[in-house]
């Protein structure tokens, strides 16, 4: 139940956007001074789990040292669609087109909220056919964007995942994750829980320009520290690295130094992925803020959504020595969902509890205690693969020789 002050509720949806007006599960629209310029469309979800087909052929070499169990598909949960973080580079932007919403301003300001997602998820996880496969959150739109503070969907989701002993991961830019640390600690005693904070930019002015709705890098790093102090692992996704903007040795060295100081358990990185629907919006930002880079970017991404192979190799050669310098471990990415890799996807002891905790827990918490803690707590669209994953893929099918030349860095 939502408790908003001074909200403007349109119960009949007379001004709903055309695609949304066709929905028979639209409950109401909400506007509130707290989120000026934004509209929230509350819907009753028919399903909570999204089935994501596998994208990496099994023949592609595994770039991690630990064998990964093969999987034809994965599962994700998206409590909301659209994202208040307003990252110009977000690859999930095109998903807003499914209801006649645009990938630009609408994605940032027209937010679809699945108000019953926890209840629907509980029914799905209770089915005898559910095999407790890992579930990823945050790989499409962020579950801890600011509106979560009002809707409080995540505590219920976490509780039902834990009660069913379903392993799960959360990738977020939102510092609101700190609210749910006690619940996540409890959940980790029942199943594998992997957490990761996405922090791509460590220049404050650039960060506020290209991802204006996100917390500062400092605030997100403090959240990483809070998770680690609670005894859980927390990776940092240094993604995306923006060509010619955040790929300098100075920026990367500073970023990795701060990541190390936060206590992060590992770090993952990749260059920027620009698919149609996102590319146009990002290029508008680039033309406004860095017009001198427009020609370079058009050439860079003329061959597709990924940066050229030669650039990714160059970037890897630059960042790997810095990771060694700061004694940072390379994290592992789920090859299907793009979230942090859960131990359940590893071929060794797939059903064992997470070994990433340093907590002492004499006995597992009961489902009722998880629900009590939850109540007390105040579909993947063409995701970007990590650079190492891509390099392995391209080495395998011998496409590396087609990289555009000369390079611009």
The phi, psi pair for 142, rounded to 5°, reads -80, 125
Q: Is residue 107 part of a domain?
A: no
pLDDT tens string for the chain (409 positions)?
A: 344 544 544 444 445 555 665 566 888 889 988 888 999 999 999 999 999 886 544 433 444 444 444 455 789 999 999 999 999 999 888 887 777 887 778 888 999 999 999 999 999 999 999 999 999 999 888 999 999 999 999 999 999 999 999 999 999 999 999 999 999 999 999 999 999 999 999 999 999 999 999 999 999 999 999 999 999 999 999 999 999 999 999 999 999 999 999 999 999 999 999 989 899 999 999 999 999 999 999 999 999 999 999 999 999 999 999 999 999 999 888 777 778 876 655 543 333 333 232 222 333 334 444 444 444 433 334 444 555 555 444 443 333 333 332 223 3
- CATH code where residue 223 lies: 3.80.30.30
Evaluate whether residue 61 is within a structural domain: no
φ/ψ of 240, rounded to 5, equals -90, 150
Whether 350 is covered by a domain: the verdict is no
Number of domains observed in the structure of the chain: 1
Exposure b/e, 264-289, CB count within 10 A at least 16 = b: bbbbbbbbbbbbebbbebbbeebeee
The answer as to whether 87 is a domain residue is no
Q: Could you tell me which of 273, 396, 381, 304 has the C-alpha nearest to residue 53?
A: 381
- Cite the DSSP H helix spans in 126-248: 148-151, 154-163, 181-188, 204-210, 217-229
Phi-psi category of residue 338: left, alpha or beta, with phi > 0 → left and psi -120 to 50 → alpha:
left
Q: Which domain holds residue 166?
A: 46-55+116-343+366-396
Is residue 274 within 8 Å of 301, Cβ to Cβ?
Answer: yes
Q: Is residue 28 part of a domain?
A: no
pTM of the entire predicted model: 0.79
236, part of any domain = yes
Q: What is the per-residue burial (b if ≥16 Cβ within 10 Å, else e) of 136-148? A: bbbbbbbbbbbbb
């Amino acid at each position: 139940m939502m408790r908003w002050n001074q909200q403007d509720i349109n119960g009949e949806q007379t001004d709903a956007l055309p695609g949304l007006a066709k929905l028979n599960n639209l409950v109401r629209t909400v506007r509130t001074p707290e989120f000026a310029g934004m509209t929230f469309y509350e819907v009753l979800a028919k399903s909570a789990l999204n089935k994501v087909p596998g994208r990496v052929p099994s023949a592609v070499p595994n770039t991690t040292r630990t064998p990964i169990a093969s999987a034809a598909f994965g599962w994700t949960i998206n409590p909301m669609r659209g994202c208040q973080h307003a990252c110009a580079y977000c690859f999930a932007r095109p998903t807003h087109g499914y209801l006649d919403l645009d990938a630009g301003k609408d994605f940032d300001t027209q937010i679809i909220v699945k108000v019953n997602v926890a209840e629907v998820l509980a029914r799905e996880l209770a089915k005898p056919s559910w095999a407790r496969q890992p579930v990823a959150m945050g790989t499409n739109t962020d579950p801890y964007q600011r509106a979560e503070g009002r809707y409080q969907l995540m505590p219920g989701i976490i509780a039902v995942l834990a009660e069913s002993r379903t392993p799960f991961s959360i990738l977020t830019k939102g510092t609101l994750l700190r609210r749910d640390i006690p619940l996540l600690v409890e959940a980790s005693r029942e199943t594998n829980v992997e957490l990761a904070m996405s922090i791509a930019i460590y220049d404050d002015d650039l960060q506020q320009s290209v991802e204006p709705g996100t917390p500062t890098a400092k605030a997100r790093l403090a959240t990483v520290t809070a998770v680690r102090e609670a005894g859980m692992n927390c990776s940092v996704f240094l993604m995306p690295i923006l060509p010619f903007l955040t790929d300098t040795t100075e920026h990367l060295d500073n970023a990795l130094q701060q990541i190390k100081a936060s206590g992060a358990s590992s770090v993952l990185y990749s260059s920027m992925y620009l698919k149609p629907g996102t590319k146009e919006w990002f290029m508008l930002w680039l033309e406004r803020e860095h017009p001198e880079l427009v020609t370079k970017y058009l050439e860079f991404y003329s061959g597709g959504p990924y940066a050229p192979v030669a650039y990714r190799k160059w970037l890897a050669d630059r960042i790997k020595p810095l990771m060694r310098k700061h004694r940072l471990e390379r994290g592992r990415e789920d090859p299907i969902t793009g979230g942090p890799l859960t131990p359940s996807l590893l071929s060794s002891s797939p059903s064992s509890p997470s070994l990433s905790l340093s907590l002492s827990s004499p006995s597992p918490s009961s489902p009722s205690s998880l629900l009590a803690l939850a109540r007390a707590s105040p579909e993947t669209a063409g995701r970007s693969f990590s650079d190492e994953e891509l390099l392995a893929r391209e080495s395998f099918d011998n496409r590396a020789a087609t990289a555009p030349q000369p390079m611009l860095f």
